[in-house]
Amino acid sequence: MTHGPDQDGLGLEGRVAVVTGAAGGIGAETVAQLVRHRAAVALVDRDGPALDELVARLRKEAAADPRAPEPRLLAVPADVSHGGEVTAVVERVESELGPITHLVNAAGILRPGPVAGLSERDWDDTLAVNATGVYLMSRAVASRMAPRGFGAIVTVTSNAARTARTGMAAYAASKAAAQAFTKCLGLELAGTGIRCNVVAPGSTDTPMLTSLWEGEDAGRPSIEGAPEAYRVGIPTGRLARPYDVAQAVVFLLSERAGHITLQDLTVDGGATLGV
């Protein structure tokens, strides 16, 4: 079986991708980009109605373009922090769409607040989704990919995984764990033909960000910086768009990144100064 690039050079046409957190800003845009490159996509998220809305929108967009084939989409509501649900997701996707070739771990939650006020429940929930969910989904998918000798996994973390942020200890710790896990997994799987990489966004124009700045311009504090929180601004002068992050994810999934593994690509407009 060959795995060379298709007509657009990405090698994604006809592949089967799973995207977790597919109802969120980055996840939804990643799904849309994969559809445009003619991959079959399984959308995984706890918000079933939002998945259905996204599938309907993507089908409508495809129908409006006479050149576009009907997208192969499968909405699978599930909680990635539960092993049994993850196993069921993988089995259903392979039964209905075919062998999984690509995985994007984009599911994530944010419970902001200082450590002194962080409840054990907030800590446990954050680690369960952002770290354990990556472990469970990656393990389940990789066990199918490895015998077939082909595949790519991209985990979406955060620039907070490497740069301390006030009020974000649980989130940063969970993303650091997901980052380290993905690289270790990639090392273990390197000889099987499976590549594992990380995309680390900075402040991105999504509901997760706007929820932090209720009642004011959500982007301004991130762009200008907050010296009292030891946080520099964004040198490019704008927030990332979900599109910016999704493009990095799709590149690392693609055959154009065919010799890239164990890497961490930061997409933050220079906010962490390249460190």
pLDDT at 220: 78
Domain identity same for 52 and 83: yes
Mean pLDDT over 67-72 rounds to 93
Burial 148-161 (b: 16+ CB within 10 A, else e): eebbbbbbbbbbbb
pLDDT at 2: 41
Domain identity same for 131 and 225: no
Domain identity same for 141 and 213: no
271, part of any domain: no
Domain identity same for 44 and 174: yes
Can you read off the two tokens belonging to residue 182?
A: 């993905």
Domain identity same for 225 and 193: no
User: Catalytic annotation on 135?
Assistant: no
pLDDT > 90 in the chain, percent: 86
Rounded Cα gap, residues 27 and 7, in angstroms:
25
Give, in order, the Cα–Cα distances in Å from 26 to each of 21, 157, 269: 8, 11, 16
78, part of any domain: yes
Which of these ranges, 38-52, 132-146, 223-237, 243-257, has the smallest mean pLDDT?
223-237
Q: Which residues contact 35 (CB under 8 A, 6 or more apart)?
A: 41, 58, 62, 71, 73
Can you read off the two tokens belonging to residue 105?
A: 């771990």
pLDDT at 42: 98
8, part of any domain: no
What ranges make up the beta strands (E) of the chain?
16-20, 40-45, 73-77, 102-105, 151-156, 194-201, 264-267
Domain identity same for 141 and 46: yes
**Does residue 121 sit in helix, strand or coil?**
helix
pTM of the model: 0.94
Local confidence band at 8 (pLDDT 50, 70, 90 cut-offs)? confident
Centre a 10 Å sphere on the Cβ of residue 212 and count the other Cβ atoms it contains: 14
pLDDT at 216: 58
191, part of any domain: yes
Print the domain residue range for 228: 205-239
Using the predicted structure, report yes or no on whether residue 222 has a pLDDT greater than 90. no
The DSSP 8-state label assigned to residue 64 in this structure reads: T
Side-by-side strand order, sheet with 73-77:
73-77, 40-45, 16-20, 102-105, 151-156, 194-201, 264-267
Looking at the DSSP bridge assignments, the partners of residue 16 are: 40
43, part of any domain: yes
6, part of any domain: no
CATH number for 133: 3.40.50.720
pLDDT at 221: 76
Domain identity same for 118 and 235: no
pLDDT tens-digit readout, 91-143:
999 999 999 999 999 999 999 999 999 999 999 999 999 999 999 999 999 99
Domain identity same for 118 and 224: no
Give, in order, the Cα–Cα distances in Å from 43 to each of 38, 73, 97, 121, 273: 15, 7, 12, 27, 34
Domain identity same for 66 and 184: yes
Local confidence band at 217 (pLDDT 50, 70, 90 cut-offs)? low
Using the predicted structure, report yes or no on whether residue 144 has a pLDDT greater than 70. yes
Domain identity same for 44 and 173: yes
- How many domains are contained in the chain? 2
Domain identity same for 27 and 119: yes
Domain identity same for 99 and 118: yes
